[in-house]
Structure 1
């Protein structure tokens, strides 16, 4: 005998529950996004004006942060960036912050892949993280470089405010400390400093001031060494094009009044040495560079000149040596020190062939072509950005005019 239809399934099916849960989560995330955008809209215009008119004490301003204690971890977390799992004591190590500096015009899935890339496995830190795993970044920063006037923006470009809002949407998908309930330790800042060497110096100084302002009432887990001595270690996450500019002597020409006998390349080597040298002789900054995607033999180009300089100066391993170590064949063991070895100050990483192909220029061009055909909402560009960024671009009518 068949059962009555009413008793066959007295409870909602899992798919119904899943749909209801997904809908609730979507509404919650949409509300969080709106609150974040509202905060950026209320603070960013005045901060942009302050920075562009030279009224800032330092050429950098924090626009938005996931919580008020950034870059310290969320106050209620039980995990400390300075805790040593093996000894139970605090180690004198800096707060590790990743810096993703870009024009974000618009932010793409490549930006997201870079921002979410795990911290490289440095030989001096094997097993130094939680549960014996290599340590991750303690905090992350999305950084927008701005010019002195909006007139430098090209027709069709998103304004700085629009880019900051899209960065805020991207930041919702950027994570730190996945094992922690309070793992969203991300912030957004603007800076008016043309070179990475200058950005390293300015950000270190800014963070010293910020940490000092937080030090009177830090959480118990974030006290001691975090705000004393050498508080921060910056890792600049870049693409190969950016690394090539970093190693371009034309950006290091002697300033008026400086010794003209010193060449631009000598200036470059000196400036990068200060940036990459361990504290206290240098900034103790690091560079993490994503490789280009290679799918065909013809895509393989001769070694970039910037990589040759990096290897010659001893700031990075040869490509052959680094590849062998990444495959698990360590050429030297732990140094027993928190100092990153000189030949690991610049390291190469992979973010995935698919992600590495998404560029802001491609999004703008595809969006324009779709608009030119009379169908702004169509086109492959939506697959190259996050859903929230795609919706923002559509609602704002961005990139319809060709830049």
Structure 2
């Protein structure tokens, strides 16, 4: 049986042994499907406090390395559906309500397609601690009247490197959850993956799929409505100093993006603007700045939430050169 995740109000540090056990289960192929929930806001997640009068739950998924989580990640996590869905769909989904996601998920993969754990990186445990700290800044509504309302947010780990695979695993997880809780209302799930443009470029690289034909077949299942598809969406943040239009037109990457034009045209892949002052922030910039200037520098601290910075200093993260010169 899966171990019980921590619930809102629990100190994550107090559940360190439980988290280590979850990581062990996942990395040793004992989790079926290969996902473990580390933190839940309540036992009925993904259902919100007030279940919507719709057939589909909108779940935002922020899948990242969180090495460390930055203010750019936070801007993505706090993006509203009205910024990423077509107007008519948003009105259908959120009639007489402030647009919001029904549930949010911070997802950490223990096996990435091209990001193996490097010397000097935060461990999976440290990243999960930073994710818990980071989650305190994620909002339910970007609206002052709802600023104190806690988001319906969970934290999970998954053993799958690709977005296509993660989507399939998450859909299986949710179907199993609803089947195991017949007393709860049943909903279809639409997954809304939030990511940066560099990650989007990896998503649409044929080399990760074997061929261009296999890539398109996989993406069609990933991004098509159910029941044939996984009913997922991809919402991508525009690059800093980007020349991309809202439909990715007239860009230097137009050849690559032309391969997935069908998904862009249908709105299954869309691009959004996040705050200009955080658009260029990246985890690698945090790590590189600490290695160059040290933890005492203020340069890197402006890139992350204050309490994440405090954790980085306390854990002495990223201050060691992962590739020291040898004599």
TM bracket, shorter-chain basis: 0.7 to 0.9
Query: 1:144 touches 1:191 (CA, 8 Å); kept in 2?
Result: yes
By how many angstroms is 1:39 displaced? 4.8
1:207 matched residue in structure 2: 174
CA RMSD, aligned part only?
2.4
2:91 matched residue in structure 1: 127
SS in 2 for 1:355: coil
By how many angstroms is 1:54 displaced? 0.5
- Who wins on radius of gyration, i.e. which is larger? 1
- CA distance, structure 1, for counterparts of residue 232 and residue 66 of structure 2: 22
Query: 1:39 touches 1:64 (CA, 8 Å); kept in 2?
Result: no
Could you say if the C-alpha distance between residues 378 and 34 of structure 1 is closer, same or farther in structure 2, counting changes exceeding 3 Å? farther
- CA distance, structure 2, for counterparts of residue 133 and residue 72 of structure 1: 17
Query: 1:200 touches 1:234 (CA, 8 Å); kept in 2?
Result: yes
Could you say if the C-alpha distance between residues 43 and 305 of structure 1 is closer, same or farther in structure 2, counting changes exceeding 3 Å? farther
2:194 to 237, 241, 246: 237
Could you say if the C-alpha distance between residues 131 and 241 of structure 1 is closer, same or farther in structure 2, counting changes exceeding 3 Å? same
- CA distance, structure 2, for counterparts of residue 269 and residue 392 of structure 1: 41
1:57 aligns with 2:57: no
Could you say if the C-alpha distance between residues 131 and 183 of structure 1 is closer, same or farther in structure 2, counting changes exceeding 3 Å? farther
1:352 aligns with 2:275: yes
Unaligned residue ranges in structure 1 (runs of 5+): 1-31, 84-90, 254-263, 318-342
1:192 matched residue in structure 2: 159
Could you say if the C-alpha distance between residues 113 and 304 of structure 1 is closer, same or farther in structure 2, counting changes exceeding 3 Å? farther
TM-score (normalizing by structure 1): 0.70
By how many angstroms is 1:34 displaced? 8.8
1:390 aligns with 2:309: yes
1:246 matched residue in structure 2: 203
1:204-244: CA deviation from partner (whole Å, max 9, x where unpaired): 0011112333333x3xxxx2x42xxxx21101111111111
1:71 matched residue in structure 2: 46
SS in 2 for 1:127: helix
1:330 matched residue in structure 2: none
Could you say if the C-alpha distance between residues 108 and 125 of structure 1 is closer, same or farther in structure 2, counting changes exceeding 3 Å? same
Query: 1:249 touches 1:265 (CA, 8 Å); kept in 2?
Result: yes
2:102 matched residue in structure 1: 138
By how many angstroms is 1:153 displaced? 2.2
By how many angstroms is 1:147 displaced? 2.9
1:55-93: CA deviation from partner (whole Å, max 9, x where unpaired): 11111111111222211113xxxx332x2xxxxxxx3x2
Judging by fraction of residues, say which structure has more helix. 1
Query: 2:8 touches 2:42 (CA, 8 Å); kept in 1?
Result: no
1:45 aligns with 2:36: no
1:19 matched residue in structure 2: none
SS in 1 for 2:259: helix
- CA distance, structure 2, for counterparts of residue 157 and residue 306 of structure 1: 31
1:307 matched residue in structure 2: 257
Could you say if the C-alpha distance between residues 248 and 134 of structure 1 is closer, same or farther in structure 2, counting changes exceeding 3 Å? farther
By how many angstroms is 1:294 displaced? 0.8
SS in 1 for 2:39: strand
1:18 matched residue in structure 2: none
Unaligned residue ranges in structure 2 (runs of 5+): 1-6, 245-249, 323-327
Could you say if the C-alpha distance between residues 389 and 40 of structure 1 is closer, same or farther in structure 2, counting changes exceeding 3 Å? farther
Matches within 5 A, 1:3-402: 35-74=10-49, 79-81=50-52, 83=53, 91=54, 93-119=55-81, 120-128=84-92, 132=96, 135-147=99-111, 152-177=116-141, 182-216=149-183, 218=184, 223=185, 225-226=186-187, 231-253=188-210, 264-294=211-241, 302-311=252-261, 314-317=262-265, 343-371=266-294, 376-402=295-321
- CA distance, structure 1, for counterparts of residue 174 and residue 238 of structure 2: 29
Q: How many residues align?
A: 303
